[in-house]
Structure 1
Amino acid sequence: MPDFEAWKNAMPFGVNVAGRNMFDGKMYSMVSGGGRSLDPLLLFNKRQLGDAGLDPVGSPFTRDAFRAAATRLTTQGAGKYFGFLHGGIDGSFGGLVEALSELEHGTPGFDYRTGRYDFASDLKVDIIEMFQAMVKEKVLFPGWGSVGTDDASRKQFPLGQVSMMLTGAYQISNYKQNFPRFEYGVAAPPAPQNHGHIGTSRGGTMYSVALDAPDDHKAVAGDLLHFLGTPEGQGAWARYCGSANAGWSETAVANLRKSATIDPHDKVSFDLADEFCRMLPDPLLVNAANQKVALVQKPASPTFGEIVQGYLLGQVDNLPKALQETNDRYERSLDDAIAKVRKQGAVVSRADRVFGNWDPIKDYGDADYKER
């Protein structure tokens, strides 16, 4: 790549991170995205909610209102469609519970203020119990436990079998391309009027050139990656991805949002991301050696998502006990990983994960790392 150092150094803070795509001072991959993107969004069937007299755009749903709406829509559907679907086969219900917890001023699975996992909070139990009640009342699409979230978003929902989904903006381009006549809306996820915020992270899809690729392939890939790291390339990427992963260039994102050709759903998605998303702290920006911890940390099993799914399917009896045991497993897995890499000579500690000045309603920026 021509002028490689100038090209790399022109990227903003948090794009190139030691331990993520930088190792021993060398750049091994190119980060394409990194802009805010709200996940979950509430995607809804306009006709079905209109018939039910529901308007989640003009009157955003609280969690109770969302549950009531799903029940009303299921009754209205009379077996032809159901109020809500979230795929259970991939354990992603856990991520949904974390997000709804954040929106009610709780934490995700990790509390950056204490540097400890937080999977067993009373709030998370309450949210999981809400979903279990919806399962018992048969408000969820039948067979939800054997459906993947992505399949549900790409099949049942655009075919009119489900009225509402809580999923990401990456579905917008899918519907535009594959279901151009599908009339759906985008609204805020269920949250209190004085809502909390969902944490987002820097980075995104990373691309690299295989070391054993033929030279002519490397040349083409190098040109493509170089273009992606320029203002023009970031603009093209933003137009291609929309609000799902618009890129790290603030100029490119701003230009897309001002464009007369922006998809109306993307426009709403961007606005909601401004309202709901805040940047999380990143332990790698404190100490790049934490990447070694991530490489050796063994996943806690069963995971939080698996416990949530098991409870909703009736396979877990005592939810608070199961969540606390899972939380303890996550804690042990992190402690064991830190101890292992310390024996190998890495200088790391749990203190790297404590951000006492983290305020979930604000972006955690460059100055915050200096003051933690």
Structure 2
Amino acid sequence: MLELSRLEISRRTFVGGVGVGALAGLLAACGGTGTAPGVGTGIRWWDHFGGLQDQHKVWAAEQAKKLGLPVEYTYNEPGRATEALQLANQSEQLPDVYSNIVGLPLPALVDSGWVSPIELSDEALARLPEGTLVEGISMLDGVVYGLPVMSDRQYWACTWYNSEIAGSVGFEPPRSYDELRTALRAIADDGRFAPMTLALGASERMRDQADDLAQSGGFPGWQGLRYDTGEYAYDDDAYVNVIELLKEISDNGWLLPGTNSFQVPDARGRWAAGSVGFAIDGPWAPGGVRALNEAHLPKMATSGQLTPEGEDLVITRGAPAPVWFVAGNTKHADEVNLLLESFTQDDYQALLAEAMDQPPLNLDVVADADVIEPYAWLVEDYKKRVFRAPQPQVRNPAANEALAFVMPAAPHLGDIIQGYLGGDLTDLRAELVKLSDTANQNLDQAIDKAGAAGAKVSRDDWAFTDWQRGVDYAY
């Protein structure tokens, strides 16, 4: 499955370009600046998109014929992909094309020689939706270094339900917290099915879903960071209300037994077996379900993402981050650029759509693609509900220097959710205050380190006082 969050840091960096800590150590492990092309006479292409392995093998063969040059495609399991790239760099065999899984800010990749410029033809550029290539995210000083091919317009905490169970028990597609409670209670009272399952054992997944639900619940930011003030505020009522809803669902016995330890494949597999009413999952759920139990696809239905009172959903996301990079010292720059241009074509974008995983950059191709109706409905909903967020590294590219030093707060939000639902933590808001304080301190320290290294960056770069919810941000 294409789903990037199987290496959880990747999903959080993929949409929005958020930096990660321990940059210096990772670059050192990667062998510094000494990148070089790999062995062989053709293009070497690596990625970590499991759901696209078969399609990418076919695509590589087709492009090889067009380019007159072998294209060797290799899939690396997400949990091992970063290490594989590090080792390849150390041995001066970095692949010519590779997927964005290293997790480093773009300036660090450029400075360390990991990537080289991408030159796209006018035809390829014209195929990209407006606002795809953004300074500080996919470009530096007007030069393209990374190619996005998947959409930034999406949300991840989709309410998926079994349409057959809905018809048998008799409940309406829930849009609010109360409507979900009513549906879960109806399933429990019926007694034939389990009301719900979640990937509660996957703390990173619970973190991501709570971040999304808090935003749709009115939090003026994402991943705990307020857009308007630039301050972390996990203790906002929107976060408390989401976690209390999950606690109520758990305490009422509405979760399938064993849910507390379920990882993503466990929860998805149990739901795909057909005897569970609800699951919270991303747009990639149909692709995952198809791999587990294709017979369940016709039973899949979604009502989008919950809001507290059924209000209109408003989601905000950063600019699309790069999916593809070119090795800093490739010997096949011209042919590699042509390969990358092929990823902007409608037939490749349709290939992404039909995987029913991460939505393609060109959302319009989904309408004519071979996908189930709920997936197509979600994509249309994304077009209406998702707006462009402000990002400090877009307004001031030097913010990337600070993002490279940010250490993740621990325990993170998902850990707190697990502890609260399991009874190990009792004062939820106090724990969220601690998380906010730690995250703010970590960001301040990162900014100080970047400043000491010469970057012109301050905490003010994170505050967008003119941001308005439900409007694409313009700098």
* TM-score (norm: length of structure 2): 0.67
* Distance (whole Å) between structure 2 residues aligned to residue 164 and residue 125 of structure 1: 22
Change (3 A) 1:138 1:212: farther
Q: CA RMSD in A?
A: 2.7
1:338-360: CA deviations, max 9, x gaps? Answer: 01100000011111111112111
Aligned position for 2:207: 94
Please state whether the residue corresponding to 2:302 is helix, strand or coil.
Answer: strand
Structure 1 contact 83–162 (Cα < 8 Å) conserved = yes
The one of 11, 16, 20 equivalent to 2:137 is: 20
- The corresponding residue for 1:298 is 407
- In structure 2, give the amino acid aligned to 1:144: T
Secondary structure of the corresponding residue to residue 116 of structure 1? coil
Partner of residue 165, structure 2: 48
- Matches of 1:101 and 1:232, distance apart in 2: 34
Tell me whether 192-201 or 180-189 shows the greater mean CA deviation: 192-201
Q: Do structure 1's residue 310 and structure 2's residue 427 form an aligned pair?
A: no
The within-5 A match list for 1:104-123 is 104-107=217-220, 108=222, 109-123=224-238
Cα gap change, 1:345 to 1:46, in 2 (>3 Å): same
Residues 239-260 of structure 1, C-alpha deviations (whole Å, 9 max, x = no match): 445573221x4xxx32432x27
- 1:185 aligns with 301
Judge which range, 266-275 or 313-322, deviates more.
266-275
Find the aligned partners of 1:236 and 1:270 in 2 and give their Cα distance. 13
Partner of 1:166: 280
Deviation larger for 237-246 or 105-114: 237-246
Give the Cα–Cα distance (whole angstroms) in 2 for the partners of residues 360 and 263 of structure 1.
31
Q: Helix, strand or coil for the counterpart of 1:180? A: helix
Take 2:303 and 2:165, find their aligned partners in 1: how far apart are those partners? 15
Q: Which amino acid aligns with 1:40?
A: A
3-state SS, counterpart of residue 105 of structure 1 = coil
- Whether contact under 8 Å (2:153, 2:383) holds in the other structure is yes
Distance 2:225 2:211 in 1: 9
In structure 2, what residue type is equivalent to 1:187?
A: S
8 Å Cα contact 1:105-1:196 kept in structure 2: no
Q: Is the 8 A contact 1:243 1:266 kept in 2?
A: no
What is the SS of the residue equivalent to 1:156? helix
- The equivalent of 1:39 in structure 2 is 156
Alignment of 1:152-301 (within 5 A): 152-153=267-268, 155-176=269-290, 178-182=292-296, 183-191=299-307, 192-204=309-321, 206-211=323-328, 215=331, 221-229=336-344, 231-232=345-346, 235-237=349-351, 239-242=353-356, 244-247=358-361, 249=362, 253-257=363-367, 259=368, 261-301=370-410
Matched residue, 2:197: 85
Residue 16 of structure 1: how far off its partner (Å): 2.8
- Equivalents in 2 of 1:161, 1:204: separation in Å? 38
Q: Is the 8 A contact 1:102 1:198 kept in 2?
A: yes
Partner in structure 2 of residue 319 of structure 1: 428
Counterparts of 1:223 and 1:194, CA distance in 2: 45
Mapped contact 2:150–2:358 kept (Cα < 8 A): no
Deviates more, 1:125-134 or 1:292-301: 125-134
Matching residue's letter, 1:113: D
Structure-2 change in CA distance of 1:77 and 1:275 (3 Å)? farther
Cα distance in 1 for residues equivalent to 2:458 and 2:119: 38
Unaligned runs of 5+ in 2: 1-116
In structure 1, C-alpha distance between the alignment counterparts of 2:402 and 2:343, rounded to whole Å: 30
Mind listing any 5+ residue stretches in structure 1 that lack a counterpart?
none
One-letter amino acid matched to 2:177: R
Shift of 1:69: 1.5
CA–CA separation in structure 1 for the residues paired with 2:118 and 2:227: 40
Question: In structure 1, how many angstroms separate the alpha carbons of the residues matched to 2:310 and 2:413?
Answer: 28
Task: Measure, in 2, the Cα distance between the counterparts of 1:284 and 1:322.
Answer: 29
> SS of the counterpart of 1:296?
coil
Q: Which amino acid aligns with 1:224?
A: L
Alignment partners' CA distance in 2, 1:299 and 1:3: 34
Count residues in correspondence.
352
CA change 1:3–1:99 in 2 (3 A) is closer
Contact 2:353 2:369 in 1 (8 A): no
Partner amino acid, structure 1, of 2:164: R
Other-structure match for 1:130: 245
1:72 aligns with 2:181: no
The aligned counterpart of 2:175 is 61
Shift of 1:266: 2.2
Of structures 1 and 2, the one scoring higher in RCO (CA 8 A, sep 6+) is: 1
Counterparts of 2:119 and 2:385, CA distance in 1: 38
Residue-by-residue CA offset, 1:209-250 (whole Å, 9 max, x unaligned): 34577x57x776543212113x44664455445573221x4x
For residues 256 and 133 of structure 1, what CA distance do their matches in structure 2 show?
37
| Paired residues of 2:419 and 2:425 also in contact (CA < 8 A) | yes
CA deviation string 1:56-77 (max 9, x = no partner): 0xxx431012023123223434
Which amino acid is the alignment partner of residue 112 of structure 1?
Y
